Structure 1
Amino acid sequence: MTNFSAGAYRYSVCHLDSTIKHLEQVLSVEGANSLFSQTYWRGRVVQALSTPGLAPAQHSRLQRLLDRIAQA
């Protein structure tokens, strides 16, 4: 992972599936109202969405997570 700064991508496409799986698990079990705020989770998902080389299925999964956060 790279530094989290403007223009830098935190996730690499080869590790993105495990990141998405983690986000799906946390957001389904604890919801967006867990120990962290909705802003935190939205930021993590948006950050993953900015990963270069994102596959359509990955994009769909991440979009569903954004929808879930918005509904919380």
Structure 2
Amino acid sequence: MNYISARTHPYSVGYLDTAIEHLEQVLSLEGANSLFSKTYWRGRVVQALSTPGLAPCQHSRLQHLLDRIAQA
């Protein structure tokens, strides 16, 4: 794996559900206005959305997180 692809796709499909769960927990408990900015959380979700092989249910969960960030 080269450095560029690792930066572009930091998540693997096998690890993505765990990452989504983490994002859902953090954003529901602390909200997008926590220690980190909305820009930070949006970036994390967008990175996850760029994962090759994303399942429709994963895409839906991530889109819901983007909506939550936008409303915060």
Look up the match of 1:40: 40
Give TM-score, length-normalised by structure 1. Answer: 0.91
Give TM-score, length-normalised by structure 2. Answer: 0.91
Structure (1 or 2) with the greater helix fraction? 2
RMSD (Å), alpha carbons: 1.0
Residue 29 (structure 1) shift: 0.1
Residue 20 (structure 1) shift: 0.1
How many aligned positions are there? 68
Map 1:1-72; keep pairs closer than 5 Å: 3-4=6-7, 8-72=8-72
**Residues in 2 aligned to 1:19 and 1:9: alpha-carbon distance in whole angstroms:** 13
Residue 3 (structure 1) shift: 3.6
**Residues in 1 aligned to 2:6 and 2:56: alpha-carbon distance in whole angstroms:** 25
Greater relative contact order (Cα < 8 A, sep 6+): 2
**Residues in 2 aligned to 1:16 and 1:40: alpha-carbon distance in whole angstroms:** 18
